[in-house]
Amino acid sequence: MRYKSFGNTDLKVSAFSVGTWELGGAFWAKTERNESIEAVRTMGGQGATTIDTAPVYGFGIPTLPDLGYGNAEVLVGEAVKGMRDKVQIITKCGLNYDRSIGPQSLYKSMTRKEIVEGCEGSLKRLQMDYIDVLFVHWPDMKTPLEEMTDALSDLQKAGKIRYYGLSNFTPEDTLAAHELLPVSAVQLQYSMVNRSNEEVLKQLHARGIGTMTYGSLGSGILTGAIRELPNFAPNDTRVSFYDYFKEPKFSSIMKLLKQMDEIGENRHVPLAQIALNWSTQKDYVDTAICGVSKPAQAIQNCAAASWELTAEELAFLNEAIAKYA
């Protein structure tokens, strides 16, 4: 596994982070609890020591307590028992739901109450006494940045979080928050099929802010496993949050996959490894999240760390991306 410094923090993060969005939730393909736990452990055993989760991951299961809110954190806590000092735990706050309404009432909030109570809830579910990096999951346009940073500062002083980060914030709000309380990291979407945040990542990384990217495999489309337009359920995250499995983008990405196939066949590697190395070989990407729900996926993803794309291969891929993505 390759490791990088996480901005100006003292953390060393693995090039590939364990992504837990799809663990035990209602908005992805069905996952199995014990297999999910083993997948996280397996990826950790392969050297992926950075684990990304959130209370809302695993949400939406009517048969679970609190509709599964916090379920992924519970699974992560189980998976890392006995190795807390060997991993970096990253979770989030500020995305909750109204219990009086139900699962369709998700809302964004970065008030002091939501941040402090969210952190306390995460610590309990993770069975830990501190979090390495607590991200505010989404911006809340109603709450002043000062209220957010004051709450995060208090959590740092109390030893409940080591660092804080911002996920999905605009560069303007990130820098404004940075003036109030130094932002340690950002989390933004970035992959071969979504480069919209590329310049932002470069600029923030140059300021010493750690960069973590998500959607590294384009919600699975960059694995090449799906070559015909699927018919996912309307609430499946692969179509409700991402647009890669919709026309005309789907057909265009299929052409990109054919170009990736050439490298895959020459190197005898799966396309997922090509996509992961394309992201993590960027100087301005400290760690890229790759979702995992099965041990076999974990082993395959981490094997990408054993090789790197050549300059010629990167140029070939970038030309294809310019045409088809």
Question: Which residues are known to be catalytic?
Answer: 57
Q: What pLDDT band is residue 65 in, cutting at 50, 70 and 90?
A: confident
What's the gap between Cα 225 and its chain centre? Answer: 21
Among the ranges given (91-95, 108-112, 161-165, 293-297), the one the predictor scored with the smallest mean pLDDT? 293-297
Mean pLDDT calculated for residue range 197-218: 97
Residue 170 lies in a domain: yes
Is residue 85 pLDDT above 90, yes or no?
yes
pLDDT, tens only, 181-190 = 999 999 999 9
pTM of the model: 0.95
Q: Is residue 105 part of a domain?
A: yes
Alpha helices in the chain (DSSP H): 33-45, 71-79, 112-126, 145-157, 171-180, 198-206, 237-240, 249-267, 271-280, 295-302, 311-324
pLDDT in tens, 131-169: 999 999 999 999 999 999 999 999 999 999 999 999 999
Quote the pLDDT of residue 298. Answer: 93
Determine, yes or no, domain membership for 71.
Answer: yes
Q: What is the tens place of the pLDDT at every residue in 228-250?
A: 999 998 888 898 889 999 999 99
Other CB atoms within 10 A of residue 211 CB = 27
Residue 143 belongs to some domain of the structure: yes
Q: Choose among 44, 47, 65, 68: nearest CA to 56.
A: 68
- Is 314 inside a domain boundary? no
Number of domains in the chain: 1
Domain of residue 162, CATH code: 3.20.20.100
User: Which residues on neighbouring strands pair with residue 96, listed in sequence order?
Assistant: 107
- pLDDT score of 115 more than 70: yes
pLDDT digits (tens, 9 = 90+) for 306-323: 999 999 999 999 999 999
Q: Give the per-residue pLDDT at 30.
A: 64
Residue 315 maps to a domain: no
